[in-house]
Amino acid sequence: MGLPVLTRLRRPRPRIGVTTGRWKGRTMRLANSLGVWLSGGVPVRIGPGLRTSFDGLDGLIVGGGVDIESRLYGIDTSDEWPYDPDRDALEIAALDWAERHDRPVLGICRGAQLLNVHRGGTLIHDLARSHPDYRNPRSVFPCKTAHPCAGTRLAALLGERRVSINALHHQAVDRLGQGMAVAAVDDHGIVQAVERTGHRFWLGVQWHPELMLWSPRQLRLFRALVAAVAGPEPHRQVPAPASMSA
């Protein structure tokens, strides 16, 4: 009598959309794609002039790049900052899609800010102008410290001890959007991470973990995103004020 043949079914690798801009963000997109691969997922480029459909995606990374157009959060300016309105529109549509279909989302730098703007929140338009005494170093290497807030999803992923982070931004989350909570702040109280309460996985970090994949703690963010595709995790209800000005 022959031995039974055991067939092992492999689950397909989750397909994670990774957004990028028309003029800026290619290096960040490639690094985000590497983070997805190392975490067991398949990265899919999303951006103006590239793929603009979200069909067949299991999750989403909204990456870094140029500033979000300020009119989207109620500031009517004609300043020197470059914008990419096509990318803004595409990523907002992507977040609408992720919300409708309950897909997990990781926002990075600009992406974290857009998660907040998408929920009706606002941004500090320029930290140097609004906080002239605030030292905001800019480096791909760790140059400041983030403190995860107790009871948040971020703290569950990274632990509550401080995290060394890099910084390439000049803006930050100001008033929180509906359902958003502060997940980390720096030594000066400036928001460094946000997350959406009562949702499977919507997390945004102001720093660039994709440029620090040598750090196991930073890689956990990508692994958590890919793992969230498999099924819902317990919803965290994070106590947070209705709004916050950093």
Asked if 246 and 222 touch (Cβ cutoff 8 Å), the reply is no
List of residues 6+ apart from 80 with CB closer than 8 A = none
Active site residue 109: yes
Active site residue 210: yes
Q: What are phi and psi of 234, to 5 degrees?
A: -55, 130
Annotated active-site residue in 69, 91, 195, 210: 210
H helices within 126-215, ranges in order?
127-130, 153-158
**Separation between Cα atoms, residue 106 and residue 137, nearest integer Å:** 24
Q: Per-residue DSSP letters for 73-133?
A: GT-----S--B-HHHHHHHHHHHHHHHHHT--EEEETHHHHHHHHHTT--EES-HHHH-TT
Annotated active-site residue in 118, 125, 199, 208: 208
Annotated active-site residue in 91, 109, 149, 199: 109
Active site residue 208: yes
- The residues carrying an active-site annotation are 109, 208, 210
